[in-house]
Chains A and B, each alone.
Chain A
Amino acid sequence: MSAGGGHATGSHERQHPTVRQYILIGILLTVITIVELAASYTPGLGVLLIPILVVLSAIKFAIVVAYFMHLRFEDALLTRLFVFGFVLAGAILIAMLALFWGDPAVINR
């Protein structure tokens, strides 16, 4: 392989994380997963359980996209492209749930 692999790919406005930072991010992701698991096994969280799990999952999602996929360091156009697809996917999800969860044939089963 060529020695110059990567920063042949051009300069970035912000510096990418270092190896140590990547490993720390990996540890953080593991800790969040453990917290998710602990929450799912904790009785008594009641209606708080789903929001807690969704928020923790969203944090993990954002960390991977921002730091591992380098979106935080890339041009804003790429962020807009990805967010557009993600928001559309969320809209589909909400529309599907609204459509079917209101269906008495489903609710009364």
Chain B
Amino acid sequence: MAQASHAAGAPHSTTGIDSRKVLMWIFLASECLFFGSLIATYLVFKNDIPLPPAGFLEDHTKDGVVTGWFPTDRVIDGVKYKGVLSIPITSASTFVLLMSSVAMVLAVYGAQNGRPKMMKIWLLGTMLLGLIFLGFQVFEFHEFGAYGLNLATNQFGASFFVLTGFHGAHVTVGVLMLGSMLLASMRRTGLGPEAGFHVETIGLYWHFVDIVWIVIFTVVYLIPA
């Protein structure tokens, strides 16, 4: 096959594609099912939020407004509910994650074109942007907790935290992989002859995390209830 993306010395396969790359794409396809199920669960529960019990209303009403129950602002039976989702903050974190994907692709470019310094700089950049994204997520979770919303509050809280929490866990794994790749590249021998392949593989994972967030941002934050 003309397009054999073989790394030097990589195991050959009948498809002509490096088996490790095929494996990575199969993994990403399976991750689509994982996140697809979580997003579907969120969409179902987002429209199935019962009114809060009296105890919650007593604890989380301030100046006549109830917080920490619904994702968006609404008025039900004369009671005002303030939504917990903050689009401006999440837009900033979305921008950070998009830019991390640009940084990642530049790191892959550096690795595949014999430019180790460029690769290291952009690997570091990607990692830092990933950490900033995680910082935004920690801030958001902390804010929601202060409003009174947690995993056990209602169906919205449960499905929201599971979905975005698993995404955050994926970003964390990505940051750890980027860090280990960066450390390995600092060795005297660098990443070896397969540097381009290794960085590209981690890049696939990182971009996947980005495309999942593209969907989450639209479904959870931008599309109204």
Contacts and interface: CB of A to CB of B under 8 A. Distances in A.
Interface string B23-48: 00110111111011101110110011
A50 B7 CA distance: 43
Interface in B177-202: 185, 190-197, 199-200
A89 B160 CA distance: 18
A93 B43 contact: yes
A34 to B, nearest CB: 9
A19 interface: yes
Interface residues of A, number: 62
Interface residues on B, range: 35 or more
- B contact patch SS: helix
B47 A101 contact: yes
Given A3-B116, A22-B105, A81-B22, A8 B223 contact: no
Interface stretch (B134-142, B163-171, B211-219): B211-219
Nearest to A8: B8
24 contacts: A5-B116, A6-B108, A6-B113, A6-B196, A6-B200, A8-B8, A8-B194, A10-B3, A10-B5, A13-B2, A22-B106, A33-B94, A39-B222, A40-B222, A49-B224, A69-B207, A75-B1, A78-B17, A81-B25, A84-B29, A100-B44, A100-B48, A106-B47, A109-B50
Interface of B: 1-8, 15-18, 21-22, 25-26, 28-33, 35-37, 39-41, 43-44, 47-50, 87, 91, 94-95, 98-99, 101-102, 104-106, 108-114, 116, 119, 185, 190-197, 199-200, 203-204, 207-208, 210-211, 214-215, 217-218, 222-224
